[in-house]
Structure 1
Amino acid sequence: MNFENRIQKYNSSLTDIDKKITKYLLVNKASIRDKTIIELSEAIQVSPASITRFCKKIDFNTFQQMKFSLIGTSTENKKSDHTFETVYNYYQTIIKSTQQFFSEEQTNRIVKLISSKNKVLFCGIGNSGLIAHEFNSRIYRMGISSESVTDAHDLLMKSSLLQENDLIVCFSNSGKTKPVIDAAQIAKNNKATVIVVTNFEQTVLTKLADEVILISSYRYIDDPKFINSQLPGLFLLDLLTYKLLNNEELMHVRQKTLDAINKYS
């Protein structure tokens, strides 16, 4: 797992000193290649022991291992004078980074949950709501009873109607979106299964989840002009859609809905 993903994964356990180290490393990736731990500690104005503890905390065995990971990420995030190449490189970086969070076992569990529940409710606010709508659009074409909600009041009402054999899939990059948290809590109280898709573990939202799916954050791309917060979610959506359509019945129903559209449109 690369440096940025480790920062995401262990964000909740980072102290103020850890965050100071993180900020310096992310801003000065290219310059740390030849720095020793002593030189780096002097530049950041923290002790070498603090850097060692930081490395252990984000699951690197040594300072050198952390440094090589960070240098590799810096190479991946290379910029170009050509806009097409720059954005293409960013896409590659985000997809590769997001892939590090997934496992075959977890995605198979998610597919089983989606295909076995009586009803699936996808929810999110803002950009996360766009992913919720797109996921729902694909799922109900497979004959799975589903709905997407992006309005705060509708979220509360729809989640209150969920039952024990239903599923709610919550999209929130920050894990702090209050309407989504409230909807997850209501669904949990009704004994529905809760899946959370987010950038960070150990938030109020993830504590309500039966399954947490981590996706990479675009914010680790060091370019303020690149603002695609949806790409990691779409990558997850494509992966789960592909797996769902391995089911012949779901594929058959999807083809049936497409035939109806083609015939009457």
Structure 2
Amino acid sequence: MEFDEKSVVPVLEAKYDSFTQSEKNIADFFLKNKNQADYSIETLSQKLFVSKASISRFVKKCGFRGYREFIYQYEKSLNSVRKDVADSTKTVLDTYQELITKTYSLMNEAQITRVINLLGITHRVIVCGAGSSGLAATEMESRFMRIGIDIDSLTDADRIRMQAVFCNEESLIIGISVSGENESVLYLLKEAHQRGAKTVLITSRDSLFFREFCDEVILISSRKMLNSGNVISPQFPILIMIDIIYNEYIYLNRREKLAMHSDTLRALKSKEHYMLNGTGKL
């Protein structure tokens, strides 16, 4: 799979809540009028009753140098979408493919490097989430503890909130909330930030509000804009990002990390052997 350039649509979806009402109107045009024949800035200005300068500011807020680059990438992403869906299985597979493509478009490699550095310098990591996000948090704990990181996962709302009391400058708190609205997760991130801990939020919602108490906001693709979003596990985009972070972290010192992972697997196998031989009985 090759990715040459980033797609416009996932950027609009992720930043949507941070847009002004005028900017949301512009975003809605591109999200809902994908069969439009004329995307010229003049046509858009007349249709939406906004100035060309407002449109130019909008595309720059989305990370593009100008409207020409923005519309080029937008039309290119539309041309790459396969519209003929033969059956439900293909629909699901195509939706997974779309989520992967959107993840690439949202991924910030410099940010991933910064998060990896935080994992390397903090003494204790707490990852938390509820529901499907909680399951992803548990998976993250399972994977990273095998390569030597002191990490715990929290999925109970009360335990998440209580953890704030124990945060300090040596803590790294990773909150997972696809909607960006889980009160317990946001509470822990806010309190931890005030106590000097490093904080990271993994979410599909881009909001300036999160920057007030999060050192890093990692954007993931969202299912809510997908035609078949209700049949795709909400964990999937979270797990993709966890895999990316995990792979990059291992890459820093591959031999040592893989040796540690092998040691943990060997410890588990020795337990199985111990129980199979009956010596583990009380």
The TM-score normalised by the length of structure 2 is: 0.81
Match of 2:9 in 1: 4
Match of 1:65 among 65, 69, 83: 69
Structure 2 counterpart of 1:186: 191
CA-CA distance at 1:53 after TM superposition: 4.5
The answer as to whether partners of 2:137 and 2:153 remain within 8 angstroms in 1 is: yes
Q: 2:258 aligns with which of 231, 251, 262?
A: 251
Which residue pairs with 1:88 in the alignment? Answer: 93
Map Cα deviations across residues 31-74 of structure 1 (whole Å, 9 max, x no partner): 124454444455x4434535455334434444443333223333
Partner of 2:271: 264
Match of 1:138 in 2: 143
Cα deviation, 1:167-201, whole Å, max 9, x if unaligned, reads 11111223222111111122122211111112233
Letter of the 1:241 counterpart: Y
For the 8 Å contact 1:196–1:206, the answer to whether it is kept is no
Is 2:75 aligned against 1:75?
A: no
Judge which range, 103-112 or 116-125, deviates more.
103-112
Q: What secondary structure is seen at the aligned counterpart in 2 of 1:213?
A: strand
Alignment of 1:51-62 (within 5 A): 51-62=55-66
1:121–1:168 CA contact under 8 A, matched in 2: yes
1:46 aligns to what? 49
| Alignment partner of 1:241 out of 232, 240, 246 | 246
Q: 1:105-145: CA deviations, max 9, x gaps?
A: 33222222213321110011222212111101111122321
CA RMSD of aligned residues (A): 2.5
Match for 1:253: what amino acid?
A: M
Measured in 2, the distance between the counterparts of 1:87 and 1:227 equals: 7
Other-structure match for 1:200:
205
Cα pair 1:181 1:204 within 8 Å, conserved: no
Structure 1 residues 53 and 191, CA gap change in structure 2 (3 angstroms): closer
Aligned counterpart, 2:23: 18
Contact in 2 for aligned 1:121/1:148 (Cα 8 Å): yes
Bigger Rg, structure 1 or 2: 2
Q: How many residues align?
A: 263
2 CA distance for matches of 1:76 and 1:182? 41
Tell me, yes or no, if the aligned pair for 2:203 and 2:217 is still in contact at 8 Å: yes
Separation in 2, partners of 1:60, 1:211: 21
Q: In the alignment, is the contact (CA less than 8 A) between 1:77 and 1:90 conserved in 2?
A: no
Partner of 2:280: none
SS in 2 for 1:196: strand
Quote the Cα distance in structure 1 between the aligned partners of 2:267 and 2:113.
Answer: 30
- Structure 1 residues 153 and 115, CA, compared in 2 at 3 Å: closer, same or farther? same
Distance in 1, Cα, partners of 2:55 & 2:104: 27
Name the SS for the 1:195 alignment partner: strand
Shift of the 224–6 alpha-carbon distance from structure 1 to 2, 3 Å rule, reads closer
Cα distance between partner residues in 1 of 2:12 and 2:243: 25
Deviation digits for residues 8-52 of structure 1 (CA, Å, limit 9, x no counterpart): 4543552222212322321221x124454444455x443453545
Structure 1: which 5+ runs fail to align? none
- Structure 2 spans left out of the alignment, 5+ residues: 1-5, 273-282
Paired residues of 1:4 and 1:220 also in contact (CA < 8 A): no
Partners of 1:168 and 1:192 within 8 A in 2: yes
Please state whether the residue corresponding to 1:205 is helix, strand or coil: helix
**Hey, what does 1:127 align to over in structure 2?**
132
For residue 217 of structure 2, give the secondary structure of its aligned residue in structure 1: strand
**Distance of 1:108 and 1:56 partners within structure 2:** 25
